[in-house]
Amino acid sequence: MNKIISGAVIKRILSSIVVLFLVVTFVFFLVRLAPGNPAQKFLSPDFNPKLAEQISKSFNLDKSAFEQYIAFLKNLFTGDFGSSYTYRSPVFSVVYEYLSFTILFTFLAFIVQTSISFWLAIRSVKKINGLFDRVADKFSLVIYATPSFVIGLFLILIFSVQLDLFPTSGIKSLDNSELPFFSRILDYLSHLILPLVTLSVGGIAVFYRYLRDNMNDIYNHNFVMNLRSMGYDEKTILRKHIFPNTLGPFLSIAGIELGILFGGALITEVIFGLPGMGRLTISAIFERDYPLVIGCTIAAASLMIISNLIADLIKIKIDKRLVKDLLQ
């Protein structure tokens, strides 16, 4: 069995590498088809026109897109992602500087999503079609159908502009370094509340509906009725029988949702001006910083692929019968 699992994991990793390679190739040619020349931002009408040729040559932009692609692949296989045109630093170091915040921000949102969705699902399942269940069900549909950027702008309008309760952007106040320790922590939290809500509510709606329907289906199985007839209380049934049967299917969508969260975090970071991969990616696109765009793409795609792979491995750890799903 261990050999089968190892083979399945290797197969999934190899397929993930192929997907990542195709994504990077697509983005590489896509950004070069976009109008504009990165060298132009370093020029002025007062400069000699020959300077444009020299700058393009220094950026390796004087060659055809295919020649640039071949050179890019050679560097990529040696671990060289190139240097950012804007930051004048290796792409890896620039991405690393911003990536840590995005990962932390995403995992915080994921914890919020799972905690609240489990609580809502348990509360609804206890009284199916009750008032709480009907309200939560309708509200989750509305939230699910609303784009995250609309939710973010709505929260800013209500809680920042109208009520003046939370900051509109940034991760800390200008005088944060002068505040006492606990005041600095509260300052960070006040800046993160609206972004976390914006990023989390969509996933809460997805998780809630999935968990609610799945738990309700399990509760209607005959074995649950048998457990009740044997004198087991509802808390024991929920903890020892409902949760274990719900966890496997939940991990299937959790891995996908975690990958989606990384993409959603980029949009949320732009709306709230957070120092993460979102702002870096948008800046790289507008600056025509080709190496940095590729670096951001590799980082985002890798996080999505890794999150799905980890979810699959956890599912196999729980139930080794699921190894055939990983082999497909």
Q: The dihedral of CA 324, 325, 326, 328: what is its sign?
A: positive
Cα distance from N-terminal residue to C-terminal residue, the chain: 16
Q: What is the mean pLDDT of residues 232-256?
A: 75
What are the pLDDT digits (tens) for 43-74? 555 555 665 566 566 666 667 777 778 887 88
> Hey, where are the domains in the chain?
2-35+81-327
Q: What is the CATH T-level fold of the domain 2-35+81-327, as seen in this structure?
A: MetI-like fold (1.10.3720)
Q: How far is CA 241 from CA 31, 38, 221, 234, 237, in A?
A: 51, 59, 11, 10, 5
Per-residue pLDDT of 121-175, as tens digits, reads 888 887 888 888 888 888 888 888 888 888 988 999 999 888 888 888 888 887 7
pLDDT at 17: 80
Q: Which residue has the tokens 């999503």?
A: 113
| CA quadruple 13, 18, 23, 29: dihedral sign | positive
In DSSP terms, 83 is beta-bridged to 90
Contact indicator for 156, 168 with CB cutoff of 8 Å: yes
DSSP string, 60-85: T-SS-HHHHHHHHHHHHHTT---B-T
What is the C-alpha to C-alpha distance for residues 112 and 105, in angstroms, rounded to an integer? Answer: 11
